Amino acid sequence: MTATAEDPDEMEYNISFPVTGANQHELKDPVVYLLGWTGATDKHLAKYSEIYEKEGFITLRYITPSHVPFSSEADHILTSTSHKLLQLLEDYDLGGHPVYFHIFSNGGALLYRFTTEVFQNANVDIIGVVMDSGPSRLEWGVGLKALYYSQKSKGLLRVAFMGVGIVLHSIVQGILARPGSKKDFYQTLKDCSGSIYPHLFLYSTVDALIPCRYVEEIAVARRNAGAIVKTVNFIDSPHVEHLRYHKKEYTELSLKFLDGCLKRYDGGHNDRDVIDFSSSVDPADYDLKS
């Protein structure tokens, strides 16, 4: 069953429930939150949630409106959204279910930074996270590219590209200068000692929007904090297009990682043994690092 909903405050989301529970884990099914990239549509995100729905998992898709990351009220909006996403667990009688995140680019990662804080404060069990094509430091050049790629009409934007760039540069620089603002987004993800559940980073050397060095920097920081971390560099796929370029491998990675996270959550397994991709992914082809 799939439901599209809009709450009284205009938060649009999609939630899907399997007809029957197909997964084999004894505890409550996880709720897979998919947080989309800036400029994504639900049609884009549905291709990813289908990976989990086919296996009998509950999925909830949400995309932050494109203007929010560039708004001076972004922190307030994202915190409010995070509380609404938490409330949905109660609204759909999913309280007590573990939560698993699959997030995309800086648009998804920025919301994730606030959502994990809200969820952890509410004692929600977060069992793992997949980070696709991100995160990156919030530099004005990255922000400019994000705005560009979020537009449906690239031709029109090209005409005014330089003018928009000048304006956006001023806006982003102002946002980054605000005390206590989302300027700390990237550093918070690096420093957060509470996020020591397993992390899977999926990225690419040729990504024109997110420099791979920033993804790897976050991965190292999470590993140093004590998290189980797996990184996969697909080398040749563009920004948030790893599924399209490497569908079989991407799907297998996502499901094997979630299966490992569930085994770890169920208990009775060695943390370092439950997340193992060696049977389906060739490290020589996909630069798999432990």
Scan for tokens 């563009």, then name that residue.
Answer: 238
Residue 9 has a pLDDT of 58
Residue 290 has a pLDDT of 39
Residue 6 has a pLDDT of 57
Residue 236 has a pLDDT of 95
Angle at the Cα of 162 from the Cα atoms of 157 and 165, rounded to 5 degrees: 90
The structure's pTM equals 0.82
Tokens of 143: 């922000």
Could you tell me the sign of the dihedral formed by the alpha carbons of 222, 223, 229, 235, in that order?
positive
Question: What are the structural domains, with CATH classification, of the chain?
Answer: 2-138+184-286 (3.40.50.1820)
Residue 100 has a pLDDT of 97
Helix (H) or strand (E) holding 271: helix 271-274
Instruction: To the nearest 10°, report the CA torsion of 95, 103, 114, 11.
Output: -70
**pLDDT tens-digit profile, the chain (290 residues):** 565 665 545 689 999 998 765 555 556 789 999 999 988 999 999 999 999 999 999 999 999 998 888 788 889 999 999 999 999 999 999 999 999 999 999 999 999 999 999 999 999 999 999 999 999 887 545 555 555 554 454 555 544 544 455 445 445 544 444 444 544 788 888 887 778 999 999 999 999 899 999 999 999 999 999 999 999 999 999 999 999 999 999 999 999 999 999 988 887 555 555 565 543 444 344 443 43
Residue 281 has a pLDDT of 43
3-state secondary structure of 16: strand
- Distance (Å) of CA 238 to CA 203, 234, 248: 9, 9, 17
Residue 215 has a pLDDT of 95
Query: Per-residue b/e over 111-148, b at no fewer than 16 CB within 10 Å?
Result: bbbbbbbbbeeeebbbbbbbbbbbbbbbebebbbbbbb
- Cα atoms in the 13 Å half-sphere on the side-chain side of 218: 30
Tokens of 117: 């804080």
223/230 Cα distance (integer angstroms): 9
Tokens of 16: 């899907």
- Distance (Å) of CA 163 to CA 50, 142, 170: 40, 16, 11
